[in-house]
Structure 1
Amino acid sequence: MTWTTRPRSEIGGLAAIQTGSGQNIILLHGVGLRAEAWGAQLDGLASEGCLTAPDMPGHGDSPLTDLSIRLSAYTEAARGVLDCLSGPVVLAGHSMGAMIALDLAAKTSDRVCGVVALNAVFERDANAAQAVRDRAAQLDGKSIADPTSTLHRWFGDVASAERDACRRWLTAMDPAAYKSAYSVIAHSRCPRRDTLEKLSCPALFLTGSLEPNSTPEMSRVMADTAMSGRAQIIEGAAHMMPMTHADQVNAAISSFLNELRP
């Protein structure tokens, strides 16, 4: 598919793409991306409910108003979108968006009826944790970071429309906003084990079999830790699987939504 810019509305203080009707589903993207990263889900799952994909603060058309490097700032921004929607809501988040979705689900258990965490990181080992902190430390918040190494981690050396779209989004982003978001990824330990143990809603943990950072083992452990969790591993997928393996991701989310329906 093509990854072109779509019309937005202001919802809860964030610019957001909205499509479909019925069950409210919020889609939270990862660092350096924007709502269009969910394009294949916005198209493929529109019959499943009302899909709302916001640009997170500092991304896309949403301004960054809080430079304090805390996950809670992003969670509160997502809560603003949630508060504008009626009825029980399903949260789906990718990468940092998964961290936000799990944090928000734990804090608003009365509103969230299910959560899908795609490519979520959990309890990194010491080497992996240091590597991501080192990458964050290299960001000066003033100059646009060279996306080459990021794109290599996400896509390898394979050229694609998805890779080109991610390059455009990464290089168009305000450097201060990118540093803020990336620092959350680097320094936050969310989701914490005790948070997952108390997560009361059903939770699906999705990742790819080729994902070296948000590994299959991480998803399995999170699923085992959550009160009502399960893991699903998409064969041949890596970090950007909502874009690169959209059919499999959509099928997994659709199945999960069907399980939530009475």
Structure 2
Amino acid sequence: MTLFERHFEGDPDRPAIGLHCMMGSSNLFAPLMERLDGMIDLQAFDFPGHGRSPDWQAQDDTDLHTFVTRHAARMIRHPVDLIGHSFGATVALRIAVGVPEAVRSLTLVEPVLFAAAPEASSKAEHDRLAPFQKSGDWDGMLRRFLGDWGSTAGLPTEGPHAEKLRTQMKMVMDTNAFLMADCAEILRENGLERIDAPVMLIAGEHSPKVVHEIAEALAARLPDVGRAVIPGAGHMLPLTHADQFADLTRMNLDRA
């Protein structure tokens, strides 16, 4: 499968990879790169079923998280700065646990690794959406999901875009199950502890409680970690609070 890739040019000696959220695209990193003034040379790509990439075709031997992780890993030629948001942040973390020497720094916005949260919080996340899935009410699920994590403003109910959102919502449910079970074993013993690159965990003040619990659990195990909460921000802070996001990203890049 050929995925759409986007290149934000910058310092060729400072390669970076950007990994976007579910229901997002590689364009998420445009505001950030406008503010970093060429500090890094960033490659990003649209995940299957997102942006300009082709639809995701379910495979018997490869789940979406593994597919995206492998695609990103193949892009690494030298130690890189990984910048990830939500689902993309869990992919970045998986790469860093698997090949810590390939990572120069990790800037992670609200990694949704639900397995790291208290069991009650992970279960609550599942229970919020399960009734919609059981009844086949994908539009209702979209309104609930985007209300929790993004925005329901202008949510279409008819046409190709509405159908794409429903398909993406089904992908979200599959990946949520994957992340709640930690199928990639990101939290395995002595995994996070081997990451010696500087890590910055960023969250929005008004984001769901579970992301703050996940950040706390991850920070307790990472050797070199900083945490930041952006006042007034929610889950989509790379777009809504781009200045603050850029400042924190620059700070972490400087630490590497």
Mapped partners of 2:102, 2:212: distance in 1: 28
Q: Give the unaligned 5+ runs of structure 1.
A: 1-11, 158-162
Tell me, what secondary structure is at the counterpart of 1:77? helix
8 Å Cα contact 2:69-2:94 kept in structure 1: no
Instruction: Give the secondary-structure state (helix, strand or coil) at the position aligned to 2:100.
Output: coil
Aligned counterpart in structure 2 of residue 236 of structure 1, from 229, 232, 238:
232
What code does the residue aligned with 1:148 have? R
Alignment of 1:77-116 (within 5 A): 77-116=68-107
Pick closer, same or farther for the CA change 1:156–1:178 going to 2, 3 Å.
closer
Amino acid across the alignment from 2:123: Q
8 Å Cα contact 1:119-1:214 kept in structure 2:
no
Question: Paired residue for 2:8?
Answer: 19
Q: Which residue of 2 aligns with 1:8?
A: none
Aligned-CA RMSD value: 3.3
CA contact (8 A) 2:100 2:194 kept: no
Q: Which residue of 2 aligns with 1:129?
A: 122
Match of 1:183 among 174, 177, 181: 174
Query: How do residues 49-198 of structure 1 correspond to structure 2 at under 5 angstroms?
Result: 49-63=40-54, 64-67=56-59, 73-121=64-112, 122=114, 123-134=116-127, 135=129, 138-139=132-133, 145-146=139-140, 147-155=142-150, 171=162, 173=164, 175-189=166-180, 190=182, 191-192=186-187, 194=189, 195-198=191-194
CA deviations 1:54-77 (Å, max 9, x no partner) are 11122112232344597x643443
TM-score, normalised to structure 1's length? 0.77
User: After the TM superposition, which of the residue ranges 243-252 and 145-154 deviates more from structure 2?
Assistant: 145-154
Residue 117 of structure 1 and its aligned partner are, at CA, apart by 1.4
User: Retained in 1: the 8 A contact 2:81–2:104?
Assistant: yes
Count the aligned residue pairs: 242
The answer to whether the 8 A contact 1:67-1:177 is kept is no
| Aligned with 2:249 (options 225, 250, 253) | 253
Q: Could you say if the C-alpha distance between residues 68 and 175 of structure 1 is closer, same or farther in structure 2, counting changes exceeding 3 Å? A: farther
Partner residue, 1:4: none
Larger fraction in helix = 2
**Partners of 1:67 and 1:180 within 8 A in 2:** no
Unaligned runs of 5+ in 2: none
**TM-score normalized with structure 2 length:** 0.79
Q: 1:137 to 1:149 in 2, by over 3 A?
A: closer
Equivalent residue runs for 1:208-247 within 5 Å? 208-247=204-243
Whole-Å separation in 2 of the counterparts to 1:170 and 1:139: 20
Distance between the aligned counterparts of 1:65 and 1:155, measured in 2? 26
* CA distance in structure 1 between the partners assigned to 2:118 and 2:52 by the alignment: 35
